[in-house]
Amino acid sequence: MKEVTICLLVFACFSSCSTKKQNIDFVALQASDFNSAPFDLPSGQLPASAKQAHDSCMGFSFDANAILIRTGDTFFIGSVVNRQSLAVIRRSNELGLTQKQLISQFNVISEPCYEKKVLNFPLRSTLGENFSLQLPGADESTNRKINEVLQTSVIDEIESGPWVYVDMKDVLKNILDTVMSDDGLRYKSAALDSANMVLTSLEAVTYLTFVIHTKDEISPSLQAALRSEPFVPFPKATFTIQLFYSNSKEIKMAVNGFFPAAGQFMRVITK
């Protein structure tokens, strides 16, 4: 009987004294908590205008702390990033799931709406400083002219939509609370490092139409090329581009793809 009592007491002590399992949680960061300079844009009007377009379309406000327009090809959702150097330490493809499996567990909200705004920012801010086009069948002179137009003209207006909101906090919490693989554990260790942060959610737009006003009249050869409404090949791009002729001093460029506009970086902790 004494032995049974001792065993029960030991079991009870083990049960009550054992370390409580710690679960993953997330803490919101302010822009002052990390090196946010690369996420700022020259025009102070863009963040407010983009936010208004998103909020009007989606019907809710997104608490972003980073504008991703100039860095969208660097930071993917789920990236573990050093807070000061902004070096990408780990990526979500190290979590042991295929991209399709991971995406299927995201919280995704999309609305088929379009917003027309004057956003006032350089086209190259979205498509890159070295952005250039080659029109199908056009000669060297015509291609040079279209690129001069794109690099020097004023972007008067952008029509955007549909908007997409993607959040992976729930799936990331579930994975990190149970992960056992070596890659997954390395990802978890990096995510929990107080020097790092994780891009847990983002808002993106999937279709953009740029209204471009040129300084000079469009040349006859370029007008002829644009009237065919060409789809322009862009090597290794994840988006498609189509050009339209409006009048002698206006071009429209439609871009169809997935363009992160803003995101939220968060700290990962245990509690």
Q: pLDDT tens digits for 37-53?
A: 877 655 444 455 566 66
Lookup result for tokens 């863009």: 46
Query: Per-residue pLDDT for 234 more than 80?
Result: no
Q: What is the mean pLDDT of residues 217-241?
A: 84
Query: Per-residue pLDDT for 119 more than 70?
Result: no
Tokens found for residue 238: 């994840």
| Lowest-pLDDT range of 19-33, 127-141, 176-190 | 127-141
Tokens found for residue 166: 């993607």
Rounded to two decimals, the pTM is 0.72
Task: Give the per-residue pLDDT at 85.
Answer: 93
Q: What is the mean pLDDT of residues 81-104?
A: 86
Beta-carbon contacts of residue 6 (< 8 Å; ≥ 6 apart): none
Q: What is the mean pLDDT of residues 244-250?
A: 90
**CA proximity to 76, closest of 218, 255, 199:** 199
Task: Give the per-residue pLDDT at 229.
Answer: 93
| Average pLDDT for the chain | 79
Task: Give the per-residue pLDDT at 19.
Answer: 54
Task: Give the per-residue pLDDT at 191.
Answer: 95
Query: Per-residue pLDDT for 221 more than 50?
Result: yes
Lookup result for tokens 């997409």: 164
Tokens found for residue 196: 């790092």
Query: Per-residue pLDDT for 67 more than 80?
Result: no
Q: Are strands 250-270 and 107-111 parallel, antiparallel or unpaired?
A: unpaired
Q: What is the mean pLDDT of residues 95-124?
A: 73
Beta-carbon contacts of residue 222 (< 8 Å; ≥ 6 apart): 142, 145, 146, 149
Out of 12-16, 70-74, 165-169, the most confident range is 165-169
Q: Are strands 240-247 and 107-111 parallel, antiparallel or unpaired?
A: unpaired
